[in-house]
Structure 1
Amino acid sequence: KYLSSPRSVCLDGTIYLVADNTKKVYSYDLEANVWQKVQPLHMLHENGGLVTLDGKLLMTGGHWKGMEGG
């Protein structure tokens, strides 16, 4: 499946992937060789970054649909 401008990070042996203009978050379990949907973002995001901090995933920067001027 095609995802627009995906961002990815690895956390505790799992790869997480988020694409632009969607709330969907996917994870890939390296040991099980399986992709799955996980808890979605709270809002649509575009042109942000994806980082890990203290065992958590964080979306940074960018903008979202409905943002004033964006």
Structure 2
Amino acid sequence: MTKDKSFYKSIIDISIPIAIQNLITVSVNMADTVMLGRLGEVELSSAAIANHLFFYIDDINVWDFWRL
């Protein structure tokens, strides 16, 4: 464990935008679910599948970015 305060500040500076982006993504997916839930089961299921696919693609892109 490091006691370097600049290290922790850097970690916080990086993690805050990532957390905000994740919050926005979850909020958009939840709004889609709420809006499509009124239409029917098939529409809701298709939105859930699309959200899962988007999550996996986004996750792969993030891992590919950090691999560089």
Task: Normalising by structure 1, report the TM-score.
Answer: 0.25
Higher CA-based Rg: 2
Structure with bigger strand share is 1
Structure with bigger helix share is 2
Relative contact order, higher structure (CA 8 A, sep 6+)? 1
